[in-house]
Structure 1
Amino acid sequence: MASFLLVAITLLHLVDAGPPMLEEHSESNGSSLVQTMNCGEACKVRCSKSWKPKMCKRACGTCCARCNCVPPGTSVYTRGMCPCYATMTTHGGRLKCP
């Protein structure tokens, strides 16, 4: 029963998050398109319920720039959707990304 509740809550957060925020950038010759995250918007959503929003957005922005991924929504349970983001640590060994 507890696992069902956890799955239901996770799905609720995913539905609430909406689609990923991607931007397309073309190279100078226009031959290929590379999709990159709109880190500002993605981190704004990710940090919207943080008790320290400025610090959260700064850390999230760094993580997004390195990983080109931000988990949807505000829940810690969605971290696994961006493995790079979920495993990045500080020099002290603590998780870096909010």
Structure 2
Amino acid sequence: MARALNFVMFFLVILFFALTVENHQANATGTEAPAPQPQSSNNHTMNGITEGSLQPQECGPRCTTRCSNTQYKKPCLFFCQKCCAKCLCVPPGTYGNKQFCPCYNNWKTKRGGPKCP
């Protein structure tokens, strides 16, 4: 019984601190978290291709090109196609150039690393 009570008390203390930190962060900025904004029409352009201008059927060839120099082709193609389906954009070249597709560049994993190759 005492062990269960200790566990409940520990959980409540952790919850209290989590809420306190969250409130402190919201007060420090003076506002709540900003509402998600719709994608702006200020899309990046390169070689006549605008971010978000691809059709879903164009993702396969673009991702094949993007992943052509990696030794991890299967996972590269999987994540590239997933990112392309969401963003309708694949950066040019086989590496880098992500500034031309901000959606593709800004999608992160749970750990904060890049989701898209």
- For 1:34-73, list aligned pairs within 5 A: 36-37=55-56, 38-73=58-93
**2:54/2:89 contact within 8 Å kept:** no
Indicate the SS of the match to 2:55. Answer: strand
Q: Among residues 85, 88, 92, which one is paired with 2:107 in the alignment?
A: 88
- Show structure 2 runs of 5+ residues with no match: 1-46
**Aligned residue pair count:** 67
Alignment identity in percent? Answer: 42
Aligned position for 2:23: none
- Show structure 1 runs of 5+ residues with no match: 1-17, 21-33
How far does the alpha carbon of each residue in 1:24-48 deviate from its partner, in whole angstroms, 9 at most, with x for none?
xxxxxxxxxx851511100000000
Backbone CA RMSD of aligned residues: 2.0
CA 1:92 to 1:75, structure 2 compared with 1: closer, same or farther past 3 Å? same
CA 1:35 to 1:59, structure 2 compared with 1: closer, same or farther past 3 Å? closer
2-structure distance, mates of 1:56, 1:36: 20
User: Which residue type is aligned with residue 50 of structure 1?
Assistant: T
Query: Cα distance, 1:91 vs. partner?
Result: 1.5
Work out which structure has the larger RCO, using CA pairs closer than 8 Å and 6 or more positions apart in sequence.
1
Indicate the SS of the match to 1:63. Answer: helix
- Which of structures 1 and 2 has the bigger CA Rg? 2
The structure with the greater share of residues assigned to strand is: 1
Query: Cα distance, 1:73 vs. partner?
Result: 1.0
Indicate the SS of the match to 1:39. Answer: helix
